[in-house]
Amino acid sequence: MVKIKKNKKVEINEEINNADIPGRNEVFEDTVSEAMEFLNTPSISDNLIADKRLADDSTVVHDAPPMLKIEHLKKRYPNSEVYSVKDLSFELRPGEVFGFLGKNGAGKSTTIKCLTGILPFTEGKIEICGYDIAKEPMKAKMNMGYVPDNHSVYERLTGREYVNYVADLYRVPKADREERLNMFLDLFKLRFAVDRQIKSYSHGMKQKICIIAALIYEPKLWVLDEPMMGLDPQSTAEILSYMREHVRKGNTVFFSSHNLDMVAKVCNRVAIINDGILHCVIDLSDPANRETLEKRFFEISSTEEERRAWNV
């Protein structure tokens, strides 16, 4: 049984539907009728085009313990004189989508790699769902899903093998993994390729299988590093749709991006980092903050001369 919340519309891509993919008709038969139910409600992509805000501020739980707590994080790479991240602190609440902005080399990916356990950090403390990533890494990692920016994935496995492997690592029971996998395969329209070796996937399909693998265990904190890079608008809409769905269940989404418009529409709050320093955390439930986001981003990440030259 496919579970898709009724207040979300699942876009049926006409092109994909009309394409002649062997066996696809049977596969989609069960889900098309359900997906069609949502066609009458405004879609994520419609909202994106119509410049409507997608974030739902009512999902944020303000008085609950933080899902992610970063305190005075400092990171300096070996053989480097300078700190890539300098004294960074912030907290993420349950039910919020949190955007992380910064120009290239600002320290976004370094911060994300520190909080996911990929990189050791020089000073500070990172807690995921109350577990210190340095002291209790296994418990912290059990609560976190990560989607990298490079779509690196074990390409010799089939999509299903990879997702099941990740589900095994996170001890997901059979019934849950089957139900979730079916839902995601329909949501991301990847059923026709799930039993194929990943090396035959396109860029977008690899990104989708990474996302499915990261969500198969329903992590409380879902971290994505520039997830929309290189994706088509349809796929972007699907991912944004599920981000909202994920936080509605009381989870948290933390993602880095360069797309200011999208961040303004989707996120509850956003942090801007430049040269490793966290300059501000902006509450986007305030319409004035949304309108001035781009201006503030450029003020922080560029000089006045540059802004004049770019005419922004």
Q: Using CB under 8 A, pick the residue from 99, 102, 107, 148 that binds another protein.
A: 148
Residue 61 near another protein by CB under 8 A: no
Name the nearest CA neighbour of 204 among 192, 185, 219, 188. Answer: 188
**238-250 core/surface letters (b: 16 or more CB in 10 A; e: else):** bbbbbbbbbbeee
Interatomic CA distance for residues 84 and 64, integer angstroms: 31
Structure tokens at 148: 């990298």
Q: Which helix (H) or strand (E) holds 156?
A: none
Nearer to another protein, 61 or 157 (CB): 157
Interatomic CA distance for residues 287 and 75, integer angstroms: 34
Nearer to another protein, 157 or 280 (CB): 157
Residue 117 near another protein by CB under 8 A: yes
Nearer to another protein, 154 or 298 (CB): 154
Residue 154 near another protein by CB under 8 A: yes
Any residues with CB less than 8 A from the CB of 134 and at least 6 apart, and which? 120, 121, 125, 126
Q: Using CB under 8 A, pick the residue from 27, 142, 260, 277 that binds another protein.
A: 142
Q: Which helix (H) or strand (E) holds 272?
A: strand 269-274
Number of residues that bind another protein (CB under 8 A): 44
Residue 203 near another protein by CB under 8 A: no
Q: Using CB under 8 A, pick the residue from 16, 21, 32, 157 that binds another protein.
A: 157
Residue 141 near another protein by CB under 8 A: yes
Three-point CA angle 145, 150, 152, nearest 5°? 70
Residue 200 near another protein by CB under 8 A: yes
Q: Using CB under 8 A, pick the residue from 30, 37, 46, 195 that binds another protein.
A: 195
Q: Using CB under 8 A, pick the residue from 103, 160, 258, 296 that binds another protein.
A: 160
Any residues with CB less than 8 A from the CB of 257 and at least 6 apart, and which? 99, 100, 101, 226, 227, 228, 263
Residue 167 near another protein by CB under 8 A: yes
131: three-class secondary structure by DSSP? strand
**How many Cα atoms sit within 13 Å of 84 on the Cβ side?**
20
Residue 150 near another protein by CB under 8 A: yes
Residue 107 near another protein by CB under 8 A: no
| Contacting residues toward another protein, per CB under 8 A | 78, 113, 116-120, 137-139, 141-142, 144, 146, 148, 150, 152-158, 160-161, 164-174, 177-178, 181, 195-197, 199-200
